[in-house]
Structure 1
Amino acid sequence: MTLTELRYIVAVARERHFGRAAEACHVSQPTLSVAIKKLEEELDVKLFERGAAEVSVTPLGADIVRQAQSVLEQASAIKDIAKRGKDPLAGALRLGIIYTIGPYLLPELVKRVIEDYPQMPLMLQENFTVKLLEMLRTGELDCAILAEPFPDTGLALAPLYDEPFMIAAPCNHAFAGRAQITAEELKSETMLLLGAGHCFRDQVLEVCPEFSRFSSDAEGIRKSFEGSSLETIKHMVASGMGVTVVPTLSVPKEPQPHLRFIPFAAPVPTRRVVLAWRRTFTRFEAIAALRNAVHACSLDGVTRLNT
């Protein structure tokens, strides 16, 4: 049994496909298939059920894959310990970040990490919360910047900042000249929402729960629109198609000719942004350095959290 074989079975369990797993491991499919068959023969167990469209993990195989993930993580920790002896920050840090934070935090964050910690390059992955949590669990990521709440996965968490929400409206909308808007006033508006899978969509629906009933019927076409990104939705708001709710960091610093951003009246809805990592991750100094770099960013309009 080798670490390479363990990497192969973890990849197949993740991808549910031998071809994609081989591609992820940078080997040919025959090489990967032969290695897994050899491991199955050595263990005298069947790890995978080979179907026409998808590979599934057997119940016993699932237990072995989980143990393989742990072994690979511990093997990686040995290298990390050796590196820390020379420079605690040496080596790339694999960072995941959700779509509604990445475009607004990463440009300044990456620049600060390059300036302050050049020996710790960031390897970035933007994705949905559920996918980033899975990648953390399987060791594909070292840490991730997420918005609470999300399922309790036993991860270590460090709060970064609390971010208020704001309302975006066309410049000719009745809201445009207002100093504040209540959540109650949004009920009569056409609301533009992010599509399913975005945690920010769920957070907006907590503020305006009445719009959740439109997501699966014909009335929803008139009352709400689901977009793929905050920037797409902001362009649609600017064209007069409705209003939306956005996180504060997504608000441009310069005035926009066709958009107005209006604060909520109290109680102001907010989201808590946190840094998450596996409790077994050994590069504590890298986590601390990343958190310091986030706090060194301008972060206009948010409340930094140092506890």
Structure 2
Amino acid sequence: MTLTELRYIVAVARERHFGRAAEACFVSQPTLSVAIKKLEEELEVKLFERGGAEVSVTPLGDEIVRQAQATLESAASIKEIARRGKDPLAGPLRLGVIYTIGPYLLPALVRQTIDHLPQMPLMLQENFTVRLLEMLRTGELDCAILAEPFPDTGLAIAPLYDEPFQVAVPHRHALADRPSITSAELKQETMLLLGTGHCFRDHVLEVCPEFARFASHAEGIRKSFEGSSLETIKHMVAAGMGITVVPGLSVPPPGAPSDGLVNYVPFADPVPTRRVVLAWRRSFTRYEAIAALRNAIYACALPGATRLSS
């Protein structure tokens, strides 16, 4: 059994395809296939089901792949230990961010890391929560910025900040000049939602559960529309198609260039919020990099959010 063989089975489990796994490992498919077959013969177990267009991992194979990933990380930590002896923060950090956080946090965060952590460039990946969790598990990412709740995957979690929600309405809307809005007042409105897969969609439906029924005849609902991103939905609000709920960091700051077509109104108490956290594998050894990233996030403006220190 070799580390190379372990890399191959982790790649196949991640890609669910021998050809793509071979490309990811920079070897030919026959080379990868022969190595995996050799490992299966040595272990006397079947790691993968090869029928159909997509490869699947057997139940026992899944356990072995998880251990292989941990073994590869342990081996990599030897180099990390040596690198940390010279500079604990040396080397890129692979960071994942969900779609409803990335556009609003990353510009300031990237500036912070360039200015104060030039030896630790961020390699960024935006995606849905479920995909980022999978990438953390398989080692494609080192850490990720997520919004709770999400499935317990045994990850280490550090809270970053609590972010309040606001209501985005067309500037000529009857609610546009209100000092605050209750969730009950949104029941009769046309609500614009993110599409399935976005965790923020679920957050909005917790605030306004009436919209979960998605039927134009449902009591208290006129109609619901879906958008692919918060910015797309804001354009729909500006066009007068309805209203939406947005996270606080996505609200343009006072004095920012704006077309004035959207008004942002706070919620009345109790204000709905989401908790944003940093997650990483417990086996990840670059503790100083995680701490430095948290400090860089805390150094960002985070308007309206409440920073959390523990």
Of 231, 255, 260, 1:257 maps to: 260
- 1:63 matched to 2:66? The reply is no
- Please tell me the root mean square deviation across aligned C-alpha atoms, in Å: 1.6
AA matched with 2:18 = F
Aligned to 2:229: 229
Residue 14 of structure 1 aligns to which amino acid in structure 2? R
In structure 1, the residue matched to 2:284 is: 281
When structure 1 is superposed on structure 2, of 114-123 and 248-257 the one drifting more is 248-257
Question: Where do 4+ consecutive residues of structure 1 move more than 6 Å?
Answer: none
SS class of match (1:212): helix
Alignment partner of 1:95: what SS? strand
Q: Which residue of 1 aligns with 2:206?
A: 206
For these two proteins, the number of residue pairs brought into alignment is 305
Aligned counterpart, 1:111 = 111
- Name the residue aligned to 2:241: 241
Deviations 1:11-53 (A, max 9, x none): 1112211122223223332222222122223333322111122
Partner amino acid, structure 1, of 2:245:
V
Structure 2: gaps (5+ residues)? none
* Counterpart position of 1:5: 5
For normalisation by structure 1, the TM-score amounts to 0.95
* Cα distance in 2 between the residues matched to 1:162 and 1:177: 26
Matched AA of 1:54: E
Counterpart for residue 72 of structure 1 = 72
Which residue in 1 is equivalent to 2:171? 171
User: Alignment partner for residue 292 of structure 1, among 277, 284, 295?
Assistant: 295
Distance 2:166 2:55 in 1: 45
Residue 304 (1) aligns with residue 307 (2): yes
1:160 aligns with 160
Give me the identity figure in percent. Answer: 79
Give the match's secondary structure for 1:123: strand
Alpha-carbon shift at residue 218 of structure 1 (Å)? 6.5
Structure 2 match to 1:266? 269
Code of the aligned partner of 1:242: G
- Paired AA for residue 194 in structure 2: L
Cα distance in 1 between the residues matched to 2:260 and 2:124: 33
- Partner deviation per Cα, 1:226-267 (whole Å, 9 max, x = no partner): 111101111111101100000011111224421111101111
Partner Cα distance (1:194, 1:27) in 2: 40
Determine helix, strand or coil for the equivalent of 1:197: coil
Residue number in structure 1 paired with 2:35: 35
Give 1:179 deviation, angstroms: 1.1
Q: Structure 2-normalised TM-score?
A: 0.94
Return the alpha-carbon distance in structure 2 between the equivalents of residues 48 and 280 of structure 1.
25
**Which whole-Å CA distance do the structure 1 matches of 2:154 and 2:46 have between them?**
30
Task: Please tell me whether the aligned partners of residues 164 and 273 of structure 2 are also in contact (alpha carbons under 8 angstroms).
Answer: yes
SS across alignment from 2:232: helix
